[in-house]
């Protein structure tokens, strides 16, 4: 059997910059593969080696496109190399093919100007040598372009492109609008034109709103929603519902603040939605002065960060035994952890000496902090907050908070002092103050003042091994719920 190789170029499409190479060949050891190098540049810097595909009739084909050759136009050279299974090869020069420059053209017209609704269309026809990548149409009316919107034109079945302008996308501005058109080729080339000024008025639209999402901060889990309104009777309020959970269990209605003649803004944060990441849904509602509501779907924001874990390194561990020995003084020691986390020094001796006591204070502690003489109960949260105000008014009472609210407070960077059980627990009375300083994976990190050293581990203090967990330890939410009965304070 003799080796044979023949090839021809077919289906040349100068407009699209493409052609096919059809190959027929045979070789004594059988065809292993056929490779087809094609290039136009003299230094071959746009060369591509195509691997031919076998067709049902036994021939091979390659589909060439200038997209694979830096969108270069001009004369293309095509070679074909056939490789046998025994390593032999056979090659040939096919031919040169001219794919000449396509004249770049761009034209556009404005049609369907609706003076009742404040809309018009922009129809665009264009061609460019490398093919059209996209067409963008910026439209605005304000001199400072503050109401500009860049529309991406949609391709129609006849090959033209279209943009639908609506004044609601331009802060409900009316008057004279500027329209530009920019066509971008696949090679990076662009062509632009300026269309005639267009007069836009609105006769039939009395109430409407539009909105955009801006300032997305993935690190902090925040974004802003800006709402633009139109209402002949005036705007009573603008509200923005945002939620993460599919059942809307974390739905929050944000009240937007007015920031201009018809502009409102609200700032959204994951801290108001249990610090969850993932997709957030955003709607917007306007109530006019006739108490009629109008709503739109704004869009979605996808947060990819991790926001539901924290370990506060600014909260010191403080003992109720050293340097001040106060075995019944857990409240002042725990309170000092909160206050010192904000850089405010607490004199522990003074804090223990001046702790509000019962019965002089109805919410004070019953029993001496140093000797335990007459001990009945620890100071109540309201009394401890009042005591803390000797150093800072940033401490406040959050008693009654749910476990989820405690989690949210901690994730917001606020240590939480809660009332629970101690390593000496013998009953069900929550007479011990501890501080939550972290949260992750369904667990709280806790500072317990009932130890001599921060390094003291589980069982090193007390007689109740269940609650003698060490000076610094982690507990599950289930363990926390066994202790927590609703009494807690925190600091801003």
Q: Give the pLDDT band (50/70/90) at residue 237.
A: very high
Question: Which residues are 34's β-sheet partners?
Answer: 82
| 254 plus 321 within the same structural domain | no
**121-140 pLDDT per residue, tens:** 999 999 998 889 999 999 99
The C-alpha atoms of residue 364 and residue 99 are separated, in whole angstroms, by 92
Q: Which residues is 444 bridged to in the sheet?
A: 439, 475
Q: Two tokens at 208?
A: 């409407």
SS3 label, residue 383: helix
pLDDT tens track for 298-327: 999 999 999 999 999 999 999 999 999 999
Q: What φ, ψ does residue 260 adopt, rounded to 5°?
A: 175, -175
Beta bridge partners of 297: 283
The answer to whether residue 214 sits within a structural domain is no
With 70 as the cut, is the pLDDT of residue 156 above it? yes
Instruction: Say if residue 288 is in the same domain as residue 359.
Output: no
- Are 60 and 122 found together in one domain? no
pLDDT at res. 129:
83
Q: Three-state SS for 198?
A: strand
What SS3 state is found at 79? strand
Residue 274 and residue 308 in contact, taking contact as beta carbons nearer than 8 Å:
yes
Residue 206 belongs to a domain = no
Contacts of 274 (CB under 8 A, 6+ apart): 244, 250, 308, 404, 407, 408
- Mean pLDDT, rounded, for 178-192: 93
Q: 231 and 130 share a domain?
A: no
Q: Is residue 290 situated within a structural domain?
A: yes
Domain for residue 209, yes or no?
Answer: no
Predicted confidence at residue 1, as pLDDT, reads 57
Query: Is 211 inside any structural domain?
Result: no
Has residue 179 got a pLDDT over 90? yes
DSSP letter, residue 404: H
In a domain, 422, yes or no: yes
200, 230, 257 - which closes a domain: 200
For residues 331 and 411, membership in a common domain is answered with yes
19: CATH: 2.60.40.3760
User: Could you give the percent of the chain with pLDDT greater than 90?
Assistant: 90
Q: Does residue 180 register a pLDDT over 60? A: yes
Which residue range forms the structural domain that includes residue 148?
A: 104-200
Residue with tokens 């007390």: 462
- Give 199-213 pLDDT, tens digit per residue: 998 877 889 999 999
Per-residue model confidence (pLDDT) at position 53:
97
Q: Which two tokens stand for residue 84?
A: 């046998």
CB 236 within 8 A of CB 289: yes
Together in a domain, 270 and 320: no
Q: Are residues 76 and 127 in the same domain?
A: no
Do 129 and 268 sit in the same domain of this protein? no
For the chain, helix (H) and strand (E) counts, in that order, are 5, 32
Question: What is the Cα–Cα distance from 91 to 33, expressed in whole angstroms?
Answer: 12
Residues 89-119: tens digit of each pLDDT: 999 999 899 999 888 899 999 999 998 889 9
**pTM above 0.85?**
no
Alpha-helix residue ranges (DSSP H) falling in 194-248: none
- Position 263 in a domain: yes
Q: How confident is the model at residue 461 (pLDDT cuts 50, 70, 90)?
A: confident
- E-strand ranges in 14-88 read 18-26, 31-39, 48-51, 53-54, 60-65, 74-84
Which pLDDT belongs to residue 219? 95
Among 275, 303, 331, where does a domain finish?
303
Q: How does residue 469 score in pLDDT terms, banded at 50, 70 and 90?
A: very high
C-alpha–C-alpha distance, residues 341 and 335, integer Å:
10
329 and 379 within one domain: yes
Residue 32 and residue 81 share a domain: yes
> What is the distance between the alpha carbons of residues 146 and 154, in angstroms, rounded to a whole number?
24
Q: Does residue 488 surpass a pLDDT of 80?
A: yes
Average pLDDT, the chain: 95
Domain limit, last residue, from 303, 327, 360: 303
Together in a domain, 319 and 367: yes
Q: Specify whether 416 is located in the same domain as 355.
A: yes
Cα-to-chain-centroid distance, residue 402: 27
CATH of the domain at 275: 2.60.40.10
Number of independent structural domains in the chain: 4
Q: What is the reported pLDDT for 309?
A: 94
**E-assigned strands of 233-344?**
235-243, 252-255, 257-258, 263-269, 278-288, 293-303, 310-311
Kindly report the backbone phi and psi dihedral angles of residue 220, in degrees, each rounded to the nearest multiple of 5, phi listed first.
Answer: -95, -15
Task: Identify whether 320 is part of a domain.
Answer: yes
Beta-bridge partners for 472: 447
Q: Which of 326, 331, 366 minimizes the C-alpha distance to 487? A: 331
Alpha-carbon distances of 272 from 169, 180, 389, 396, 482, rounded to whole Å: 29, 42, 27, 19, 26
């Amino acid at each position: 059997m003799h080796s044979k190789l023949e090839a021809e170029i077919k289906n040349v499409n100068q407009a699209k910059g493409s052609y096919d190479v059809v190959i027929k060949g045979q070789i004594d050891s059988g065809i292993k593969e056929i490779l087809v190098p094609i290039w136009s540049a003299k230094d071959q810097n746009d060369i591509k080696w195509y691997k031919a595909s076998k067709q049902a009739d036994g021939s091979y084909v390659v589909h060439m496109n200038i997209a694979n050759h830096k969108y270069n136009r001009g004369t293309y050279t095509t070679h074909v190399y056939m490789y046998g299974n025994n390593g032999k090869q056979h090659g040939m020069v096919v031919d040169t093919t001219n794919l000449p420059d396509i004249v770049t053209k761009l034209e556009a017209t404005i049609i369907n100007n609706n003076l009742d609704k404040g809309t018009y269309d922009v129809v665009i026809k264009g061609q460019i040598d490398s093919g059209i990548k996209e067409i963008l149409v910026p439209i605005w009316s304000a001199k400072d372009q503050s109401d500009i919107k860049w529309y991406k034109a949609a391709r129609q079945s006849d090959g033209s492109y279209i943009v639908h302008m609506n004044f609601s996308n331009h802060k409900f501005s009316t008057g004279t609008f500027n329209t530009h058109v920019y066509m971008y080729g696949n090679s990076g080339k662009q062509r632009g034109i300026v269309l005639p000024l267009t007069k836009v008025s609105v006769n039939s639209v009395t109430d409407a709103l539009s909105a955009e999402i801006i300032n997305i901060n993935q690190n902090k889990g925040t974004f802003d929603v800006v709402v633009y309104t139109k209402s002949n009777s005036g705007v009573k309020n603008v509200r923005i519902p945002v939620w993460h959970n599919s059942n809307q269990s974390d739905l929050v209605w944000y009240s937007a603040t007015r920031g201009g003649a018809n502009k409102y803004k609200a700032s959204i944060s994951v801290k108001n939605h249990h610090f969850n990441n993932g997709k957030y849904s955003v709607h917007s509602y306007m109530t006019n002065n006739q108490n009629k509501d109008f709503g739109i779907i704004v869009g979605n924001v996808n947060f990819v960060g991790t926001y539901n874990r924290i370990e506060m390194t600014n909260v010191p561990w403080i003992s109720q035994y050293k340097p001040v020995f106060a075995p019944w003084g857990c409240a002042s020691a725990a309170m000092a952890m909160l206050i010192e986390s904000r850089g405010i020094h607490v004199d522990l001796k003074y804090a223990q000496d001046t702790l509000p006591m019962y019965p002089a204070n109805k919410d004070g502690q019953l029993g001496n902090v140093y000797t335990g003489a007459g001990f009945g109960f620890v100071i109540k949260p309201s009394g401890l907050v009042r005591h803390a105000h000797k150093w800072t008014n940033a401490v406040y009472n959050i008693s009654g908070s749910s476990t989820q609210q405690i989690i949210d407070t901690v994730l917001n960077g606020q240590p939480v002092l809660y009332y629970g059980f101690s390593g000496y627990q013998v009953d069900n009375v929550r007479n011990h103050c501890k501080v939550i300083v972290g949260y992750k994976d369904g667990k709280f990190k806790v500072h317990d003042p009932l130890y001599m050293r921060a390094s003291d581990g589980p069982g090193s203090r007390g007689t109740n091994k269940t609650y003698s967990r060490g000076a610094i330890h982690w507990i599950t939410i289930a363990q926390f719920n066994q202790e927590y009965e609703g009494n807690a304070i925190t600091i801003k």
